[in-house]
Chains A and B, each alone.
Chain A
């Protein structure tokens, strides 16, 4: 068993891990930074999700995090020296309500958002359908819209971060799973199949899997995976300009730059599988056709599974100290 020493070990090379690594490296402290990921490039939650970002949330923390993120995304390709670009798209997010209760929730959220300077607004059903003609009118009451929200390619975003981080001297390795982390003097010891890593500090960036590595240290973190399944259609001419979310259908719709439409469907299911479950396509398709009947003719090319963490925690989390 080999042993390696690093100043900071970052577990997970997704959006959290690589972004943290790059931002730390940029500070030029000379600290040795090692990022380990159990899978291949972009094989985790970042590469599997619906790729949207929005300031339209109901909680201050989410709203402010996204305001910061969007400011960064807007110039990320230049900042990270990634000439190909990250397929940034800011055509807005339209959150749809199909019940009075949902409509009231959106109104309240918009009031909160505007308090933080988010340029969101309420639209009635006619305005929603004018904006997205393929939308179904069934039960639709209206929605909230913010033009600054949008999406980027998670793959290009991660590739840009990966190349930039490596240029700054970060050691990023794939295919190495951190099995366990334990306290070791003033630092930590991480166990992998290939050997032991002695690290001054450990940053866990494994999203919904963070509790897995914390639990053995006696720290309980109330983060749970929210399972989703996703399908993508063949490219078509522009039909859905803003990203749609339907609270009732629990579906997000994002037509990406290439013209493909990505449907992200939330559903309760067991485990953390990244595979399509056998009944997913027949579960999702009728809901999608009800939400956007104008897209029923589109051929579906591919489907997969994903999870994302519940609410982020952005503070010193008071757990039993170690």
Chain B
């Protein structure tokens, strides 16, 4: 009987895992929250008919078309479920999913989690003002709806994403008032050997940078947003230069009028489902905070549960695609993994990943965030937006000895709201470390990974259990 493989996510890793597992005769189910396949990086327009010019680099567009095309040709051979959220995973490989008003329990021999990453922001005074957005959120609006988030946008943060988003806004006809990057490109450029391994990606990045330079966008290297002005809506942002420790250098502030501030300080792994299933984790801030421990085939500490792509540590779409194929193959042929033949069949993907991982670790030097930036939050800055928990409430809890995410959550409610801590937990842990927490703690994962109504939970078809 063919093995069944259940894949969570339809980004590069999920799509290629599905293609590979199906090619190996597995019965494949793919659940994905989005209405159309692609994930964040290859996000498609919300409807096929929604227009919009090409804002992504030609190299990226070609990869996107090829992979989505291959996945869509597969769709009548697999059980593909768009607009479906996975909200609980148990160690037995039992996955609970919700599609609108209905829930269902899915079982499979193997589960491949390709749930990607979410963005990280660093709280600063005014960061909850309407108009402050994640850079990736601004990009998603462009990709899915061809909507410019504002008339005059400041893009800021660390790593390559702010550069890409600034360029894409310009290509879509938007106005970028300023591009502020925490770490200079020069530091990354020193790692020539690693960059060479990812030269195609570097070229794409340089083309984005050229777009920004040609448009004459003011670029501020070493600057971060330190305060937003405006009550109901962003009116301006104060950018300031910070030193190596992340402290503001006096008299470097510049106020820039804008209606949107797009911020990204890197990414955190969407590892809730893996955690819930009891998968062993490791902590690595630049590559995604707490990420599942996986072997070269994506196997976790829980037999039958695999993780591939950025969810196992940020390494970009090309690694995700190669890794999806590796994990898809491993999930489909669990007993065969040890054979030499299995490895030979995947040698191209294994080599591709090795080459690009070296490149990505050079890029990740741009994502190192000095601890001082976490001091930007003043006492009345809201850190947990769902439960309105301020930095001073957190500091009061720290002072009383509550320093782990679980205990801070109990005393302050930070992380107890709608988002389940996905937005604030990394900030809570970082602030706790400033106040003497021995390490970046981990919050006990609890179902549900996504909110689901009581009515939908009650709809569960008993026969699907």
Contacts A162-B400, A258-B413, A302-B446: A281 and B457 contacting too (C-beta < 8 A)? yes
- Confirm or deny: A303 has a beta carbon within 8 angstroms of a beta carbon on chain B: yes
Residue of A whose beta carbon sits closest to that of B105: A282
- Confirm or deny: B360 has a beta carbon within 8 angstroms of a beta carbon on chain A: no
Contacts A159-B411, A282-B105, A288-B458: A300 and B451 contacting too (C-beta < 8 A)? yes
Asked if A234 and B465 sit within 8 Å, CB to CB, the answer is no
Residue of B whose beta carbon sits closest to that of A292: B454
Asked if A296 and B455 sit within 8 Å, CB to CB, the answer is yes
- Nearest-Cβ distance from residue B50 to partner chain A, whole angstroms: 28
- Confirm or deny: A312 has a beta carbon within 8 angstroms of a beta carbon on chain B: no
Bound Cα distance A296, B135 (Å)? 36
Bound Cα distance A301, B422 (Å)? 13
Asked if B411 and A41 sit within 8 Å, CB to CB, the answer is yes
- Confirm or deny: A233 has a beta carbon within 8 angstroms of a beta carbon on chain B: yes
- Confirm or deny: B447 has a beta carbon within 8 angstroms of a beta carbon on chain A: yes
> Which of A40, A159, A296 has a CB less than 8 Å from the CB of B453?
A296
> Which of B402, B446, B452, B453 has a CB less than 8 Å from the CB of A276?
B446
- Confirm or deny: A304 has a beta carbon within 8 angstroms of a beta carbon on chain B: yes
Q: Mark A105-143, 1 if CB is under 8 A from B, else 0.
A: 000000000000000000000000000000000000000
Most buried by B among A42, A285, A304: A285
- Confirm or deny: A47 has a beta carbon within 8 angstroms of a beta carbon on chain B: yes
Bound Cα distance A58, B461 (Å)? 39
> Which of B411, B416, B458 has a CB less than 8 Å from the CB of A302?
B416
- Confirm or deny: B6 has a beta carbon within 8 angstroms of a beta carbon on chain A: no
Set of chain B residues within 8 Å of A163, measured between Cβ atoms: 400
- Nearest-Cβ distance from residue B462 to partner chain A, whole angstroms: 8
> Which of A42, A155, A258, A296 has a CB less than 8 Å from the CB of B454?
A296
Contacts A234-B418, A258-B413, A302-B420: A289 and B452 contacting too (C-beta < 8 A)? no
- Confirm or deny: B227 has a beta carbon within 8 angstroms of a beta carbon on chain A: no
Residue of B whose beta carbon sits closest to that of A289: B458
Set of chain A residues within 8 Å of B417, measured between Cβ atoms: 234, 301
Q: Mark A284-321, 1 if CB is under 8 A from B, else 0.
A: 11101100000111111111100000000000000000
- Confirm or deny: B88 has a beta carbon within 8 angstroms of a beta carbon on chain A: yes
- Confirm or deny: B253 has a beta carbon within 8 angstroms of a beta carbon on chain A: no
Asked if A300 and B406 sit within 8 Å, CB to CB, the answer is no
> Which of B418, B455, B465 has a CB less than 8 Å from the CB of A301?
B418
Asked if A289 and B455 sit within 8 Å, CB to CB, the answer is yes
Bound Cα distance A153, B452 (Å)? 25
Interface stretch, picked from B90-98, B233-241, B257-265, is B90-98
Bound Cα distance A279, B90 (Å)? 10
Asked if A302 and B448 sit within 8 Å, CB to CB, the answer is yes
- Confirm or deny: B114 has a beta carbon within 8 angstroms of a beta carbon on chain A: no
Contacts A155-B411, A278-B94, A285-B458: A298 and B387 contacting too (C-beta < 8 A)? no
- Nearest-Cβ distance from residue A45 to partner chain B, whole angstroms: 13
Residue of B whose beta carbon sits closest to that of A301: B451
Most buried by B among A40, A281, A286, A300: A281
Set of chain B residues within 8 Å of A302, measured between Cβ atoms: 416, 420, 446-448
Which parts of B322-380 form the interface with A (CB within 8 Å)? none
Set of chain B residues within 8 Å of A40, measured between Cβ atoms: 404, 406-407
- Nearest-Cβ distance from residue B328 to partner chain A, whole angstroms: 25
- Confirm or deny: B103 has a beta carbon within 8 angstroms of a beta carbon on chain A: yes
Set of chain A residues within 8 Å of B254, measured between Cβ atoms: none
- Confirm or deny: B410 has a beta carbon within 8 angstroms of a beta carbon on chain A: yes
Which parts of B427-451 form the interface with A (CB within 8 Å)? 446-448, 451
> Which of B387, B410, B413, B460 has a CB less than 8 Å from the CB of A285?
B460
Asked if B453 and A278 sit within 8 Å, CB to CB, the answer is no
Set of chain A residues within 8 Å of B94, measured between Cβ atoms: 278
Set of chain A residues within 8 Å of B418, measured between Cβ atoms: 234, 299, 301
- Nearest-Cβ distance from residue A214 to partner chain B, whole angstroms: 29
Asked if A300 and B448 sit within 8 Å, CB to CB, the answer is yes
Asked if A282 and B103 sit within 8 Å, CB to CB, the answer is yes
- Nearest-Cβ distance from residue B284 to partner chain A, whole angstroms: 24
> Which of A47, A279, A303 has a CB less than 8 Å from the CB of B446?
A303
Bound Cα distance A304, B455 (Å)? 19
- Confirm or deny: A6 has a beta carbon within 8 angstroms of a beta carbon on chain B: no
Bound Cα distance A118, B180 (Å)? 66
- Confirm or deny: A156 has a beta carbon within 8 angstroms of a beta carbon on chain B: yes
- Confirm or deny: A43 has a beta carbon within 8 angstroms of a beta carbon on chain B: yes
Residue of A whose beta carbon sits closest to that of B94: A278
Bound Cα distance A162, B105 (Å)? 42
Bound Cα distance A90, B94 (Å)? 41
Bound Cα distance A43, B408 (Å)? 12
Q: Mark B115-147, 1 if CB is under 8 A from A, else 0.
A: 000000000000000000000000000000000
- Nearest-Cβ distance from residue B283 to partner chain A, whole angstroms: 18
Set of chain B residues within 8 Å of A159, measured between Cβ atoms: 400, 402, 411
- Nearest-Cβ distance from residue B26 to partner chain A, whole angstroms: 23
Residue of A whose beta carbon sits closest to that of B413: A258
Asked if A258 and B465 sit within 8 Å, CB to CB, the answer is no
Contacts A42-B407, A155-B410, A302-B420: A285 and B454 contacting too (C-beta < 8 A)? yes
Residue of A whose beta carbon sits closest to that of B409: A155
Asked if A286 and B458 sit within 8 Å, CB to CB, the answer is yes
Which parts of B72-93 form the interface with A (CB within 8 Å)? 88, 90, 92
- Nearest-Cβ distance from residue B233 to partner chain A, whole angstroms: 25
Which parts of B392-415 form the interface with A (CB within 8 Å)? 400-402, 404, 406-407, 410-411, 413
- 19 CB-based A-B contacts, threshold 8 Å: A40-B404, A41-B410, A41-B411, A42-B407, A155-B410, A233-B454, A276-B447, A278-B88, A278-B90, A281-B447, A284-B457, A285-B455, A289-B454, A298-B453, A299-B452, A300-B453, A301-B418, A301-B420, A301-B448
Binding site for B on A (CB under 8 A): 40-43, 47, 155-156, 159, 162-163, 233-234, 258, 276, 278-279, 281-282, 284-286, 288-289, 295-304
- 9 smallest CB-CB distances across A and B, nearest first, come from A285-B457, A299-B451, A285-B458, A296-B455, A282-B460, A155-B410, A41-B407, A286-B458, A278-B90
Given contacts A41-B402, A285-B457, A288-B458, 10 further A-B contacts (CB under 8 A): A155-B411, A159-B411, A234-B451, A281-B448, A288-B454, A295-B454, A296-B458, A298-B453, A300-B453, A301-B451
